[in-house]
Amino acid sequence: MELILDGVSITHHDIPILTDVMLTLRTGELVVLVGPNGAGKTTLLRAALGLVRLDRGRITLDGEDATRLAPRARASRLAWLPQTGSVSEPMTAADHVAAARYRFGESARRAEAGAFRALTRVDAGSLAERALGSLSGGERQRVAIAAVLAQEAPLLLLDEPANHLDPHQQRETFRLIAALARMGHGVLCVTHDVGALAGLAKEDSTRVVGLRSGRLAFDVPLGDATLAARLSDLFGLRLAFAERDGERALVTWWPVAEPAERPCG
């Protein structure tokens, strides 16, 4: 399965949001999309889902125009984790995940079985009968990812999957995302947490894509020697990869503020 954004441009009230964006995602790949606030990252995901009208360009799924696909046909190929997903109805984790299998039109028994398989894949099987409101932030995020997996779509679009999680939960979430790509999914993951990049696998199948003001700044493998410099330029910070005890970290140098002048007298 292959998703291709070919020269995609989008404007809103005559303001450019995306300009001539070229991007591909294939099964077995992990593509991490980074960029400052307002760069157009979420709009890019929404465009791939057919939720935003294109001004120019084309988006295809295995050669078919993605904007012309029926909702169920699109759901069989693309699954989406929105940035601010929330559920207000009182329901269990299993019920929430089962509802994500709407495209199958199957019996409740089959939906429940599919939901439990998805929860098990993210090590959340023990949460199946728990009410969503009783779960921690990290547990809810695993359930949300399970709902994405329950669609059984080959391509996954994840918008800030580690948002509002503590550092340990963030690390575990990104490890899970990397594992999903190794399982054969194509994963396009939007994140502000560039520090998480250091903990991902360095295989050629993992790419980092930078977006600035709606334009593609770079698209390089995770192991590219220029990545730290590219990220530094993208965010206006001094960033570098460092290693200790066999593990990698992305280090930020903060500028030292000039001491304030003492008032006279």
pLDDT digits (tens, 9 = 90+) for 75-119: 899 999 998 656 656 899 999 999 999 999 899 999 999 999 999
CATH code of domain 2-223: 3.40.50.300
Query: Taking all residues of the chain, what is their mean pLDDT, rounded to a whole number?
Result: 88
Q: Encoding tokens for residue 114?
A: 């599919």
Q: Which residues lie across from 206 on neighbouring strands?
A: 30
Residue 182, H or E segment: helix 167-182
List, in order, residues 6 or more apart from 237 with CB less than 8 Å away.
231, 252, 253
CA dihedral 94, 95, 96, 102 (to 10 degrees): 120
Q: What is the pLDDT of residue 260?
A: 53
Report CA-CA distances (Å) from 39 to 55, 61, 162, 166, 187.
17, 24, 19, 25, 20
For residues 16-25, average pLDDT: 96
Strand partners, 190: 33, 159
Which of 100-109, 179-188, 237-246, 251-260 comes out lowest in average pLDDT? Answer: 251-260
Phi and psi at 100, nearest 5°, equal -70, -10
- Please tell me the least confidently modeled range out of 37-41, 128-132, 161-165: 161-165
Instruction: Tally Cβ neighbours within 10 Å of residue 168.
Output: 9
User: Global pTM?
Assistant: 0.88
b/e burial code for range 58-81 (CB count within 10 A of at least 16 → b): ebebeeeebbebeeeebbbbbbbb
Q: Rounded to whole angstroms, how far apart are CA atoms 48 and 59?
A: 7
Structural element, H or E, at residue 186 = strand 186-190
Per-residue pLDDT of 172-193, as tens digits, reads 888 888 888 988 999 999 988 8
